[in-house]
Amino acid sequence: MSDPVAEPLKLIALDTDDLSVISAHLQDAVLKRGDIAYLPAEKRFALALRRFDWEGATQGQKRRRLAALHFERVTAARSTKIAAGDGAVLSLLAVTFAESDGPAGQVTLHFSDGAAIQLDVECIEAQMKDLGPIWEAVATPAHPDAG
C-alpha cells in the first residue's frame, strides 16, 4: 500500500471555499522573491514554494515539498513590504479573496512581517500542484499565541 502522505496534491480553486483549502495546505510555505513571476500578457501569476506537509505532520512526519501555485485571469499585481532582491525569503501565512465587482476581486497572499502581494483578478481561478521532491523538515512551523 502506498504512503498517502507521499501522494502529491493537485488542487484547483474556483471559489473562496476552494481557495481556503489551498491556503491551508500552503500555510508556512517558504519561497524566495526570485520564485515569483507575473506574466501580464498571459494574465498569469505564478510562484514556486516549499510547503510544509501538514497532513504528514498529523502522522508525526516533518516534511517539506516543492509545489507550484498559479493564478489565471490576473489583471494587476502589487506588493507591499517585500524586500528587493531575488534572495529575499518569504513565509506565506494565508491566501484570501475579497470580492469587488463579482466575480472579480482581489486575491491577497499574506506573508510574515506584514508583507503581501495583491492580485486583481477577473475571478478566482487558481491551481496548486506538488512538483516532486520531498525532504525532511528540521521542525514543525509554530505560531505564538495571539493572546
Which pLDDT belongs to residue 147?
43
- pLDDT class for 146, splitting at 50, 70, 90? very low
Per the domain annotation, does 27 fall within a domain?
yes
Average pLDDT, the chain: 89
Q: Which three cell numbers stand for residue 56?
A: 504528514
Per the domain annotation, does 97 fall within a domain?
yes
**Residue 79 belongs to domain spanning:** 9-132
Per the domain annotation, does 85 fall within a domain?
yes
Q: Is the pLDDT of residue 124 over 90?
A: yes
Summarize the confidence of residues 31-49 as an average pLDDT.
97
Per the domain annotation, does 137 fall within a domain?
no
Q: Is the pLDDT of residue 55 over 90?
A: no
Answer yes or no: are the C-beta atoms of 96 and 134 closer than 8 Å.
Answer: no
Per the domain annotation, does 145 fall within a domain?
no
Q: Is the pLDDT of residue 145 over 60?
A: no
* pTM summary value: 0.88
As a dihedral over the C-alpha atoms of residue 70, residue 76, residue 77, residue 78, rounded to 10 degrees, the angle is -160
Summarize the confidence of residues 128-135 as an average pLDDT.
86
Per the domain annotation, does 23 fall within a domain?
yes
Query: Which comes out higher in pLDDT, residue 58 or 76?
Result: 76
For the chain, the domain total comes to 1
Per the domain annotation, does 55 fall within a domain?
yes
Answer yes or no: are the C-beta atoms of 97 and 124 closer than 8 Å.
Answer: yes
DSSP assignment, residue 84?
Answer: S
Which pLDDT belongs to residue 32?
94
Per the domain annotation, does 141 fall within a domain?
no
